[in-house]
Structure 1
């Protein structure tokens, strides 16, 4: 039977933007010790690392983020999800620390706890992951944004053993608020058998690549993306097939 997995590390841009903006203002006396930010998003498909976590159905997601002036933060994130083990909700929490490097770059060091309430306990869908992200704005030109990250789970979803994920994203301004958005990721599990437990397939893989390419724009206080997302997992399962995804996010 095909084993499914799911995970979401939250809308990373929301946390990084709010925390980095907080860091820029932290030298002023009027800056509060803790700031609160959040977001609501609607998507035609909940995609994470190239795989549909909603079985190619629409998704509604919400995040609430608490950032301290020291750089520490706590984030709560939730979405509807279909991981094939009962239940229909994903509820995660994240703790992390923003370490400034320069005025335009910083490290985001974090821990994620991923949970699927209501799933069958014997499937072991819940898991945790540690991550480090390097973030840099205005890297090549004004208005662009680059990230590179590495993530590690000692026991991935469905008890599929150790997992390593490498990722990079890049946003490049095209015209006014319109940007080219792109990402490339690489997932490695410890062996073919463990990979099949987490992702299915024919048992011949222990790793895969995922990518995203498309356009993003900001308008009327909303952020939107129209992108193509795909992966090279050798499986005919619906959730593994590539698709066009449209999303709209409101930050508050």
Structure 2
């Protein structure tokens, strides 16, 4: 993560030690983070966007002390309406109250050179941590647009830190209705973190069945990923 760093060397003799310590303890006004990953399959809500093949992904995020944030994320994908890449742009607000963390986000999904593919979604999350367990509820709503109808996706997940180890176990279940009729997806995985590197293995499956390619792309899989943040 790249952070704004202000040099206090020139003012060190003028600022009392206690005040200097307090200033250093304050969070930065702006934080910027980058990420890059290689995955064995790009799955979005249980369905492969790469025809069950590997993908290269990356993104950048900027967050402000006020709680506002914005970012972008991209991934290689299989042919989707003529597009071979997905680019997400998003922004929103995040905060916490009474031990609960929340966020509200507007996301745009863009597929360069795709025909009738781009759309906008709103999303809200609520998370709470008890000991090593962080539970997160997500509600994502896509309002009716010129190329898509209403779609609602809800999910509930939990991350459990395995005490004394660099491992985190994760489980998630989601339900989608609109673009799909009563589609459920679920996953369970394990992530090993070392410094800024995350190595994950995840089992993903769904109840979506179809003789078309989308049905085959929703079958169970073991997904492997390597992600770096900086």
- Is 1:164 the counterpart of 2:156? The answer is no
> Which of these residues, 176, 187, 190, is aligned with residue 187 of structure 1?
176
Cα-to-partner distance string for 1:109-132 (whole Å, 9 max, x where unaligned): 10000000011x2xx111110011
Report 1:233-248 matches (<5 A).
233-236=208-211, 237=213, 238-248=216-226
1:1-252 alignment runs, 5 A limit: 29-30=23-24, 31-102=27-98, 104-119=99-114, 121=115, 124-137=116-129, 139=130, 141=131, 143-155=132-144, 159-174=147-162, 176-189=165-178, 195=180, 206-236=181-211, 237=213, 238-252=216-230
How many residues were matched structurally?
Answer: 205
> Which is richer in helix?
1
TM-score with structure 2 setting the length: 0.83
Deviations 1:76-96 (A, max 9, x none): 111101253112110111101
1:220 to partner: Cα distance? 4.6
TM-score (norm 1): 0.76
Greater strand proportion: 2
Structure 1 unmatched runs, 5+: 1-13, 19-27, 196-205
Note if contact 1:46-1:54 (Cα within 8 Å) is conserved in structure 2.
yes
Tell me the distance in 1 between the aligned counterparts of 2:155 and 2:79: 23
Give the aligned CA root-mean-square deviation in angstroms: 2.0
Unaligned runs of 5+ in 2: 4-21
1:216 Cα shift?
1.5
Does structure 2 retain, via aligned residues, the 8 Å contact 1:127–1:155? no
Q: Tell me how far 1:99 sits from its aligned partner.
A: 2.1
Pair member with larger Rg? 2
Q: Which structure has more RCO (C-alpha within 8 Å, separation ≥ 6)?
A: 1
